[in-house]
Homo-oligomer: A and B are copies of this chain.
Amino acid sequence: MRVPSGGRPVKEVGEFPLIDMIDGVVSATLPRRLRMGIGDDAAVWRPRPGRDLVFTTDILVQNVHFRLDWMDWQAVGHKALAVNLSDVAAMGAQPRLALVSLALTGSERDREVTDLFRGMNALGRRHGVVVAGGDLSASPNGVIVSVTVIGETSAGRRAVMTRDGARPGDIIGVTGPLGMAAAGLRVFQQQLLTLDGNPAMREAYSRPKPRVREGRLLARAGVRAAMDLSDGLLGDLPKMCQASGVSAVIDIARVPIPNAIKWNFDDWFDLALRGGEDYELLFTAPPAVFARVCRAFRLAGLHGPWRIGEIVKAGAKGPEVKIREASGKVEEVESGAYTHWG
């Protein structure tokens, strides 16, 4: 059940008036170094010398990545930008610009489209990001939102955090609780409206918080290995182990899984560790660097990080992820990434 939100259908408004309306939403505060925004062939940006640039892109497809009966248009805009900011955060970079390609069926209301950009803009402003341009087109079978984010980071060998930087002896950390977004998806799918904690779960799914500030602090503290958790810990940590040629042991009792998940879902383990879409940062660091991260987070008034295990040498079977139970027993565990056509 989709409630019309007022406004006129896009196909009646027309493309160019719609671009003007979007421009009105996003161009309130264009930064000085952005030399051209919406309306020309391309956006122009003048970065500072001595900076590297970071680029990332992600696409959200209606009824695959979002449903308009679960999320309002502002949340769609928020999430489309958030998943990209999360990628930039995972590199330890500062996001600056976003480009948005939006494909519409034509029966959307103009108000809905501007709401999408409002949601995007509100999140962008919180992280120093402006929507600098994009493209509008047609899509007969549902809305598509494709966002590209450009960020910058100090130039230099140790400037960005990558997936191949994990070393035996490193502590494994995460920046926040796992499983809330997957629980939110379950709440929507099964209409679990009486479930205690469901507003927080739905919020985690609809409006994930990209850990931009945390990513910057990690990089500044000297962390070299990080990625964002989009496919769940047991989907993503194996990728990092593979890229770095190491294995990992997870202390299951230390993984920050909210009790609201443990107490309400029998499959809490899979939900929290394979569910995905948490957009927390996963990182590894030697103990001294990890201690520096803890101090930096505390000084900045941030929660965490949570220490959830260690990196060890890869065994005869190659890189793998194991679980250490509360008893101390170490068990093998099946890696599981969410795959799109699985």
Interface residues of A (CB under 8 A from B): 10-11, 14-16, 35-36, 39-47, 49-50, 52-59, 61, 63-65, 87-88, 90-91, 93, 97, 99-104, 106, 132-142, 144, 146, 148, 150-151, 153, 155, 159-160, 162-163, 227-228, 243, 337, 339-342
Contact = CB atoms under 8 A, between A and B. Distances in A.
Contact of A87 (B41, B56, B88, B91): B41
Contact of A138 (B53, B102, B340): B340
A64 to B, nearest CB: 5
Contacts of A15: 337, 339-341
> How many copies are assembled?
2
Contact of A103 (B97, B133, B144, B163): B144
A263 B93 CA distance: 57
12 contacts: A11-B341, A11-B342, A40-B91, A41-B87, A42-B90, A42-B91, A53-B150, A55-B133, A57-B133, A58-B135, A59-B103, A65-B137
Q: Which of A10, A91, A101, A106 gathers most chain B CB within 10 Å?
A: A101
Contact of A163 (B40, B49, B135, B160): B40
A142 to B, nearest CB: 7
A137 B83 CA distance: 13
B160 A35 contact: yes
Nearest to A42: B56
Contacts of A41: 56, 87-88, 90-91, 163, 227-228
Contacts of A49: 49-50
Given A15-B339, A15-B341, A342-B11, A103 B61 contact: yes
A161 B237 CA distance: 46
A135 B144 CA distance: 14
Nearest to A153: B44
A15 B342 CA distance: 9
Nearest to A138: B340
A197 to B, nearest CB: 29
Nearest to A132: B55
Pairs A-B, 10 closest by C-beta atoms: A106-B341, A141-B141, A11-B341, A49-B49, A146-B146, A42-B56, A138-B340, A59-B101, A148-B148, A41-B87
A144 B54 CA distance: 24
